[in-house]
Amino acid sequence: MAKLIVAVDLGASKILAGIASADGRIINRKKISTNKAEGAEYILDRIALCIKEIIKENSSAGDKISGIAIATPGPLSYSDSIVWDSPNLKWGRVAVKEELEKRLGKTIIVDKDTNMAALGEYYFGRYRKFKHLLYVTVSTGIGGAVIVDHGLYRGKNGGAAEFGHMVIDPSGPYCSCGRKGCLEAMASGTALARQARVLIVQGKGQAILDCADGGEITAREVGAAARSGDYEAQTLILDLREALATGLANLVNIFDPEVLVLGGGVAMGLQDLLLEPLFSSVREKVFALNNNGLELGLTSLGEDVGLYGCMASVMFGN
């Protein structure tokens, strides 16, 4: 009888589910859109259905599901697994664990998506078993997690490491959280797309428009225009890069980690335009002591990093 683990990574734009063997090997994946405009009840129904389908499609009668784990955007109260006022999902207070256990009739582990990603990196990634690790995701939004002395640091309520809502420019643009100048408002994929649209409204950004070919303007189109040599797109990415470098340097100076790992769709999708100069800028901004022995890198687990973290939470605890 095989033992299987079900992992689900809930994002602002997609729900990624996976089923894995007990030794941590992902057997199959399923990806569906989040459709967050439909609200929390709809999304929870989608997750429950996705879990049921992936179990049905990838297990036999004798197989045992040894655990189900969910990664969700925060802020998340860890003790009771309630999402509090999530800027990216546009949720108020949602008891994710309670609601999904009602729908599935099974015990579920729930943690913040970036905490799960950090666990994935710690147990399965290139930087496994580093004692002090920072994980930062740069995607639709920006989030993070901290591993200190081999364990996740959550703070008293579970709300630690909301890095995206660190204010780096009080006169900067408004963030989805309501504050001004948050790192997320200046260096996320959403921020990059917003700045591109501002250019276009001003009658500029033609190369970005050409790359969109009548479709939606996202970070992907800005990256494509920058690769073609477009100065305006390159300038947008430079501005994002410097804002991100400032935020990352602040984090390194606060936590003094052994390794800082980046993940997320923007970090991975724009890595050729972003990473080398970004890491150089971070090193220039941090104290010499904190730069001593510091490793900077991109996750080796791709978009599956959250799934690996969910698996780790079942296999090793969290």
Q: pLDDT, tens digit, for every residue of 235-268? A: 999 999 999 999 999 999 999 999 999 999 999 9
pLDDT, tens digit, 9 for 90 and up, residues 14-25:
899 999 998 889
Strands (E) located in 109-204? 109-112, 133-138, 142-148, 151-152
**Quick one: 182 and 79 in the same domain?**
no
The domain total for the chain is 2
Q: What is the dihedral of CA 288, 291, 293, 295, to 10 degrees?
A: -170
Domain-located, residue 41: yes
**Quick one: 163 and 66 in the same domain?**
no
**Quick one: 166 and 186 in the same domain?**
yes
Judge contact between 192 and 222, C-beta under 8 A. yes
- 10 Å Cβ neighbour count for 82? 19
Domain-located, residue 65: yes
**Quick one: 229 and 291 in the same domain?**
yes
DSSP state letter for 37: G
Judge contact between 3 and 21, C-beta under 8 A. yes
Domain-located, residue 103: yes
Domain of 95, CATH number, reads 3.30.420.40
pLDDT, tens digit, 9 for 90 and up, residues 32-89:
888 777 889 999 999 999 999 999 998 886 678 999 999 998 889 988 999 998 887 8
- HSE, CB side, 13 Å, CA atoms: give it for residue 288: 0
**Quick one: 266 and 226 in the same domain?**
yes
**Quick one: 115 and 10 in the same domain?**
yes
| Domain of residue 211, residue span | 128-302
**Quick one: 67 and 168 in the same domain?**
no
The values of phi and psi at residue 84, to 5°, are -110, 110
**Quick one: 155 and 297 in the same domain?**
yes
What pLDDT, on a 0 to 100 scale, did the predictor assign at position 142?
95
**Quick one: 150 and 41 in the same domain?**
no
**Quick one: 94 and 133 in the same domain?**
no
Instruction: Find, among 196, 182, 188, the residue nearest to 236 by Cα.
Output: 196
What pLDDT, on a 0 to 100 scale, did the predictor assign at position 221?
97
